[in-house]
Amino acid sequence: MTAEDTINDMRMRATKHLAEAGSREEIIAWERAFLGPKGELTLFLRRLASLPVDERPTAGRGGNALKTELTEAWNARHAALVAGDLEQRLATDAVDVTLPGRPPILGAAHPVSQMIDELSEIFALLGFQTVFGPEVETAHYNFDVLNIPKDHPARDVWDTFYVDLPGEIVLRTHTSPMQGRVMEQTQPPVRVVVPGRVYRYEAQDASHEWMLHQLEGLAVDRAITMADLKGTLSEMARQLFGSERRTRFRCDFFPFVEPGVDFAVDCAICGGAGCRVCKGSGWLEMGGAGMVHPNVLRAVGYDPDVYSGFAFGLGIERLTMMRSGVDDVRAFAGNDLRFLRQFARAA
């Protein structure tokens, strides 16, 4: 077989195989077989020097012409395959832009956050500024400043989560520690409310949670009286619940107020008839309150002969329960979207 015959034979096979190659893998294998470093045509060109001298020029010209021819054929076939792939992908992966979109799921403020906002607005109109304080608190502010010295039995009233072993750092058991923090940094007149989370090592039931929210209130000035306290809380209740709901103040004890009261509204769940939420009493305690104890005023450097004040601490979940008729406080931290969606308001 002459070199020319070899070239013609190679051209015939290569052209036939390339026409039959239907995938990218197959044309890559074809390229390797004919044009790659160990491909048939490459080896043929490398062997030119071993041919008889008179055959070399024809074989060289013919071999190089075939190389150009096959390279062009491969490029064209490759381009056609890529275009075919693309067309197929466009046909199968097509996006139907006329389909309606999926509506985004919109979140809404938690009912407790909504109540905090609403209370802040009500108290702002009564002249109170909203401030915030730390949830991890020192026993000093949580107890000592509030006239609850170490080893005093009153500390047991607040079932405390201690963060350290000596018991100097606690998860605040109420928002009252902010009384000391605010008064130490401000001179009277003081009028603040402090919303936030508090923690108690307490068994859960329909009206008790171990993590709850309170709103502390504090007003200190010359000649503040119990009537100011009653007027402030009654107005808050009127704005929140309307004027039909009844409120009640009864004597209570808290070491940091004197006198102290508990503040209740008639139970919205049973209308005052008695149920498991109000434990059959017809009333649900919303908060504790009273006139700031002279020892607390002294502890922050205020003169109790010049200044007097009132303070209160309201349970925010309880207020929300009474306003919306929720009969179990555990629902607020239960993360059940069906419950939470009922409170969603348009932004």
Tell me which residues touch ligand FA5 (CB under 6 A): 174, 176, 200, 202, 208-209, 212, 214, 254, 257, 260, 285-290, 311-313, 315, 317-318, 329
**Pick the catalytic residue: 155, 181, 191, 200?**
200
Q: From its phi and psi, is residue 242 left (phi > 0), alpha (psi between -120 and 50) or beta?
A: left
Pick from 80, 59, 75: nearest CA to 1: 59
Between CA 74 and CA 24 the distance in angstroms is 11
- CA of 318: how far to CAs of 53, 162, 263, 296, in Å? 107, 25, 12, 27
DSSP symbols for 256-273: TEEEEEEEEEE-TTTTTS
Least distance between ligand FA5 and beta carbon 94 (Å):
56
> Can 179 be counted among the known catalytic residues?
no
Least distance between ligand FA5 and beta carbon 288 (Å):
3
Least distance between ligand FA5 and beta carbon 173 (Å):
7
Least distance between ligand FA5 and beta carbon 290 (Å):
5
CB-nearer residue toward ligand FA5: 40 or 252: 252
Q: Which residue is nearest to ligand FA5 (CB)?
A: 315
- CA of 296: how far to CAs of 137, 257, 341, in Å? 17, 8, 43
> Can 293 be counted among the known catalytic residues?
no
**Pick the catalytic residue: 257, 264, 277, 300?**
257
> Can 174 be counted among the known catalytic residues?
yes
**Pick the catalytic residue: 59, 112, 139, 158?**
158
CB-nearer residue toward ligand FA5: 66 or 319: 319
Coil, strand or helix at 237: helix
> Can 246 be counted among the known catalytic residues?
no
Residues 6 or more apart whose Cβ sits within 8 Å of residue 5: none
CB-nearer residue toward ligand FA5: 27 or 300: 300
Cα 147 vs. chain centroid, distance in angstroms?
37
Contact of 240 with 319, CB cutoff 8 Å = yes
> Can 257 be counted among the known catalytic residues?
yes
CB-nearer residue toward ligand FA5: 181 or 318: 318
CB-nearer residue toward ligand FA5: 30 or 263: 263
Least distance between ligand FA5 and beta carbon 179 (Å):
7
Least distance between ligand FA5 and beta carbon 163 (Å):
19
**Pick the catalytic residue: 214, 265, 300, 331?**
214
**Pick the catalytic residue: 21, 311, 326, 329?**
311
> Can 323 be counted among the known catalytic residues?
no
CB-nearer residue toward ligand FA5: 10 or 321: 321
CB-nearer residue toward ligand FA5: 62 or 315: 315
**Pick the catalytic residue: 174, 181, 213, 293?**
174
Between CA 113 and CA 193 the distance in angstroms is 15
Residues 6 or more apart whose Cβ sits within 8 Å of residue 343: 108, 109, 110, 111, 114, 324
Q: Identify each DSSP E strand in 200-317 by its residue range.
A: 211-221, 247-252, 257-266, 283-292, 308-315
Least distance between ligand FA5 and beta carbon 315 (Å):
2
H or E stretch at 307:
none
- CA of 117: how far to CAs of 133, 194, 232, 246, in Å? 16, 11, 17, 23
Q: What is the largest CA-CA distance in the chain?
A: 128
Strand 169-171 vs strand 136-138: parallel, antiparallel, or unpaired? antiparallel
- Residues classed as catalytic: 158, 174, 200, 214, 257, 311
